[in-house]
Structure 1
Amino acid sequence: MRTSKSHYAGTDAMLAQANYTGALTQITAAKSKGYSHKDRVIYYLDTGMLHHWNGEYEKSNEQLELAEKAIEENFTKSLTRSASTLILNDNAQAYFGEDYEDIYLNAFKALNFLALNQPDSAFVEVRRIDLKLKELSSKYDKVAEKLNKAEEAHEKFQPGKNYFQESALGRYLSMLLYRNDYKWDDVRIDLEKISKGWKLQPGIYNFDPPDFSNEADRLPSGTGRLNIMAFSGICPDKRASALQIYTEENLIVLAGTSEDYLGKQNLSGLQVIPWYGVKPGYNFKFQLPRMEKRPSKVARIEVVVEGLKTATLQPLESLENAALETFSIRKPLIYLKTITRAVVKGLATQTATESMTNNMDDAMAFFTRLATTVAVNQTENADLRMSRFFPAKASIRELHLPEGVYDITINYYSHSGALLHADRKTGVSVAADRLNVLQSAYLN
């Protein structure tokens, strides 16, 4: 079964116009046709994020909560199935989410709670981010352990290395909440961990870190902190990579270079896999999913306070880099599982076909072999499912302003300096004794 994305047609244009209501209307109308029951996680994530962008924070949390529960449930079921067979195509299983979706949904739940003035609930979500990052490596160690018990396993399954252990966005939200409670030592620790993330995770934080030199300052009486958080771009998408396997005596050989697919997860040894009993001359096609960034038009974001005070926002988090990094942990498992499935199904089909064609004339035997080969190849379509409405980047700026009510505009500029979008916020209240977070987005 191929992954259908037709229900997303036109939504990119809606996002470029900040028409979140229109996108939400289209997606909810596609619930029964665009999303099967095994795709319910994607529906919850899509609607949860669109409700967030539309300022409907309670509805957003309802959907994201359903997504989080379904992710955990579907992953547990998948883990149970892994030990029984490798033959089941990933497309046939209930989607349990990409890890970056599971991690960042808690960040947006936290932002929802902040918008609803529920900081204690926001803190719960921030702690969930940290917990999920800590469990990321062991999570796929368990998957590999289960896969290695499957009857069809020929090579040892091993996940890729986890390079994502600290989220700057998660730590920044934590810092804001601690500072709001005047827990200055915890503020210092969170800022140190953000700095540590830049040093230890260059694949994710491949840009200059924000300047946090004023974040721990004590402010004069009557002055409030306004924390602007702006999200830009759109999350990565999945594409299919087509590969081939051919067989030699007791060997299967991958045609092409596995490094092109696996990147930093070096599994070049799996280009040739011992497979006792296989005959030479067989050829099978299969697909693997790869994750690709989607280009953003946004190069710079500025905030203007009542036309007087202007400041440039600083990049804080690359959600798209985190998406690719976490996907690379699963890549070796997807890779070997897909190869194993393609070979087992292909050999079984070849054996059955040879038996069928023994008494056929040459022409009929040729077309029979062609038909069965096509049928095998079509069952190995890559699983390209993922949600659509997470942003690519998060940027921040803290302004120190006298208590009051302000009209504020967040401007998004292109690489050529053209104004792409002006997000105008009127009646923004800034108080000295509370956390003031202003959210903005332009998903283009």
Structure 2
Amino acid sequence: MQNNTITKQHFAFFTVIYLFFLSGCQSTPANKSAILLAQQGEFESAKQTIRTDYSATGKSKLLYYLELGMLNHLQGNYQLSNQQLTEAQQIIEEQYTISISESALALLSGPAYTTYAGKIYHRPLINFYKALNYNALANQPNAERQTFLDSALVEMRQLDTYLSGLKDATGGYNNEEQPSGLDQLTEQIDNLTRPLFAPNDLLKDIEYKDDAFAHYVSGILFERNQELDSARIQYQRAIQAFENGFAKQYDINPTVVTQIKKDLIRVMEAAGGYSNEVAQLKSELEITASKAAQPVLNILQDVGIGPQRKQFNLLLNVDEDAKALVMTPILWGTQQEQQAQMRWFQMLYADTSLFDLIQNYATGDIGDVVMGGLTKRIPLGPMWDDAVDIGLISALEYGSRISVTYLEPLQQQIERSEIWVGEKKVANLDKIYSVSLLTLQDALNNANSEIQIALAREIVKSLTAQKAISATGLDSSFSGFAKLATSVVNAVTASADLRQWHSLPAQINYVQLPLSKGEHTITLKTYLASGIVLEQSETIQIVDNVTLWHTRTFLQETRIETPDSTFL
């Protein structure tokens, strides 16, 4: 009984220590602070924040170049932006092969000690923003217009090569159902029993495997440069990806696909030789009469700031009676953050499936079943003796902290965005790309592997400490204190990798307008859920058949006038 009391006191003390050190875990990263400064128009302060906290040669050098590249893009320093984004692109390509030494360091110290390699969807966005920079340069007075336009298309060709490799690796969006290899009855049984063996089936079909938005922007730029065959191919690829899964996965309005089909009709009619395909598309869209071709203005609106990755902590303990490892969330931060942490845990890790309930009932007692939504139990079964032999059970006597990431909840801050030409409203914009959902689905897709690696890392650290204590020959009273002390040290050093490209927008909205050639005053009105209306205006000279206006809208009460739009 006395030993149990001591253990409980140790456990309580250990938990307090955890909470003390966790108090500093939710601080705002430097690059998030930088984009918050940028939305107030304080670009030089924002860039200095990045230079102070990140190095051009350190483990986070990719973020150094990504953030500075975006800040200079927003400030209108297009040449410098492209130089920095090119550096970022090269770092991503170099980091495809992670060194063995860095993998070992990550296992012992944590992922934040490795070189940040970015996310799979970052590379297309680098090409996208570089192309926007080149097109903005082409529209400056006395610019070498064609040279810059050609450079933009080079970015699109590089992007197409990257996406082709991505589709080869993932299968892309294929509208053909793959045969399961099972007869109908067996397949029905398999569908019924699959949840028993795959509780995380909710993570199905959230892999980033192609980019319909990138294909569409490529098509716009190719059409603008009168490369009609390349434009046709990119529009077709965009339609295929949108219709076969991209639109559903990222919650894109079907009106976007309708617009791309109209664009496809336009380039095929201009190129000639596609009468059958044009007739089929017009029939599908119920277009009964052809309209005379006229110039179009494509508008892209970057909105807001993407969601932030935060640290989420769990306590790993041993249940000797049930012969199981038990993970319990340690909630910390504001009430909203604690709710988000618990929901994230219950969504991904908690013992809430039928299979988990059966395991808890079989290995524990009724209380384990009730606690299933608040814990994650890992029954060791016949592996228990091996865990005892290698010292794992002893090493986890006082528990260990596991740190993983979670994503703050996505908030719908805008009601709608409108385009006005002169004094007349002409259209609403639709969401065409969601960086927020890309970030969320990437986090969900990596959640299981992240927690498995974190679990392995803390077990290795605990075992290493246990062996070191045993080697000292301390008696039982001192060894108990030593184990508690090393558990506290491991708790302090446990950390998740919170690095991300913070200056990306939350989403991108889009609309296409038919406009005659000449000068037009375009006003973008963004209506927030709070009732505030943000206005941005630009005088645009329409001289080509295809024009693109790109702008960034920060969701704040006071509109700061900054050169954050690129008229193309």
Q: TM-score, normalised by structure 1?
A: 0.80
**Equivalent in the alignment of 2:152:** 122
**Alignment counterpart, residue 175 of structure 1, candidates 202, 219, 224:** 219
CA distance 1:3–1:51, shift in 2 (3 Å): farther
**Equivalent in the alignment of 2:420:** 304
> Residue 25 in 1 paired to residue 39 in 2?
no
**Equivalent in the alignment of 2:118:** 97
* 1:274-423 matches, cutoff 5 A: 274=383, 277-279=386-388, 280=393, 282=396, 283-295=399-411, 297-356=413-472, 358-359=474-475, 362=477, 365-415=479-529, 417-419=531-533, 421-423=534-536
* 1:98-177 matches, cutoff 5 A: 98-117=119-138, 118-136=148-166, 163-177=207-221
CA distance 1:88–1:326, shift in 2 (3 Å): same
- What's the % identity of the aligned pairs? 24
Asked whether the equivalents of residues 241 and 287 of structure 1 are also in contact (C-alpha less than 8 Å), the reply is yes
CA distance 1:105–1:25, shift in 2 (3 Å): same
Task: Quote the RMSD (CA, aligned, Å).
Answer: 3.6
**Alignment counterpart, residue 440 of structure 1, candidates 528, 547, 551:** 551
* 1:213-224 matches, cutoff 5 A: 214-215=262-263, 216-217=265-266, 220=292, 223-224=294-295
Can you give the 5+ residue segments of structure 2 that lack an aligned partner in the other structure? 1-23, 139-147, 171-202, 271-290, 330-344, 360-376, 556-568
Give the AA of the match of 1:7.
A
The alignment partner of 2:502 has SS state of coil
**Equivalent in the alignment of 2:249:** 204
Asked whether the equivalents of residues 6 and 34 of structure 1 are also in contact (C-alpha less than 8 Å), the reply is no
> Residue 62 in 1 paired to residue 57 in 2?
no
Shift of 1:28: 2.4
- Residues of 2 paired with 1:304 and 1:5: CA distance? 37
Asked whether the equivalents of residues 297 and 547 of structure 2 are also in contact (C-alpha less than 8 Å), the reply is yes
Give the AA of the match of 1:107.
F
- Residues of 2 paired with 1:243 and 1:139: CA distance? 34
More strand by share: 1
> Residue 240 in 1 paired to residue 263 in 2?
no
**Residues 41-77 of structure 1: per-residue CA shift (max 9 Å, x gap):** 1121111111112222212111111111122223423
**Residues 123-169 of structure 1: per-residue CA shift (max 9 Å, x gap):** 232333344445458889xxxxxxxxxxxxxxxxxx99763223232
More divergent stretch after superposition (246-255 vs 89-98): 246-255
Shift of 1:357: 7.3
Choose 1 or 2 for highest CA Rg: 2
More divergent stretch after superposition (97-106 vs 75-84): 75-84
Shift of 1:194: 2.8
Corresponding residue pairs, total: 414
Asked whether the equivalents of residues 106 and 126 of structure 1 are also in contact (C-alpha less than 8 Å), the reply is yes
More helix by share: 2
Asked whether the equivalents of residues 100 and 326 of structure 1 are also in contact (C-alpha less than 8 Å), the reply is no
Give the AA of the match of 1:243.
L
Give the AA of the match of 1:205.
Y
Give the AA of the match of 1:318.
S
- Residues of 2 paired with 1:94 and 1:139: CA distance? 24
CA distance 1:349–1:377, shift in 2 (3 Å): same
Q: TM-score, normalised by structure 2?
A: 0.64
**Equivalent in the alignment of 1:7:** 30
Can you give the 5+ residue segments of structure 1 that lack an aligned partner in the other structure? 141-158
**Equivalent in the alignment of 2:72:** 51
> Residue 429 in 1 paired to residue 541 in 2?
yes
